[in-house]
Amino acid sequence: MSDCTTKDILRQVKDGSLTIEDAMLQLKLEPFHDLGYAKVDHHRRLRQGVPEVIYGAGKTTEQMIGIVSDMKKAGQETILITRLSMEAAETINAVHPLCYNQAGRIAVIGDLPKPSGLGKIVIATGGTSDIPVAEEAAITAQALGNEVLRLYDVGVSGVHRLLSHMEYIMNASVIIAIAGMEGALASVVGGLADCPVIAVPTSVGYGASFHGLSALLSMLNSCASGISVVNIDNGFGAGYLASMINHMEAKA
């Protein structure tokens, strides 16, 4: 519980400027306001001018238009909508002009913030089929104020493709390694890089890929250090976490 706020309420009760009933109401709300405050504080730091995020899957176009209107009224400058179909994007665009990334099925309303992180986020994919997940991650990271470097189709079955971009790997602040099928990209990247690697298994593949299970298990078992894994096809989650890491700063 945030001491200063509580202290204020108590002071006001003591000096009579606040009735006991109103104080009770405020105190009842306090803990979660406090929690919220903390979050907001954090968010403010992380998000100066950056998007609020709407998860588009399962929402109607009308719902999304309404949410965007509310956010705009609340002063939100940049808004991100993920898992958005082309059709829905077109309908929303008529009301709230947006920029739509078809591959990643993700839209941005408003301007992208200027990159503000510690360094660049490199997004590498094993194949071209992994690009939709990669673009979801890339636009998310950009919308959260990061410079993004795309390194697509550098899968380990042709490891020289990856090696010929060693300078990108070595200079990255965070790397997002996205791959389906055998998912080995994460391990190879993890072994080369000196920064956190976020592995994203994709459902790309057939047969014994079992809709991403193969890549998921492979990535979890990586013997390289500094790797962690998010859900299958979760480009947004990887982009969000990468941005969080790329904006690390000293804490008291």
Asked if 85 touches its own copies (CB under 8 A), the answer is no
**What span, in angstroms and rounded, lies between the C-alpha atoms of 16 and 146?**
49
Q: Between 92 and 242, whose beta carbon lies closer to its own copies?
A: 242
Q: Nearest approach, Cβ of 97 to its own copies (angstroms)?
A: 26
Asked if 196 touches its own copies (CB under 8 A), the answer is yes
Question: Pick from 24, 86, 94, 103: which binds its own copies (CB under 8 A)?
Answer: 24
Contact window for its own copies (CB under 8 A) among 85-93, 95-103, 104-112, 198-206: 198-206
Question: Pick from 17, 42, 125, 134: which binds its own copies (CB under 8 A)?
Answer: 42
- Per-residue x/- track, 221-250, its own copies (CB under 8 A): xxxxxxxxxxxxxx--xx-xx--xxx-xxx
**What span, in angstroms and rounded, lies between the C-alpha atoms of 20 and 18?**
7
Q: Nearest approach, Cβ of 123 to its own copies (angstroms)?
A: 15
Asked if 114 touches its own copies (CB under 8 A), the answer is no
Within 133-192, the residues that bind its own copies by CB under 8 A are: 155-160, 163-164, 166, 170-173, 180-184, 186-188, 190-192
# of chain residues touching its own copies (CB under 8 A): 107
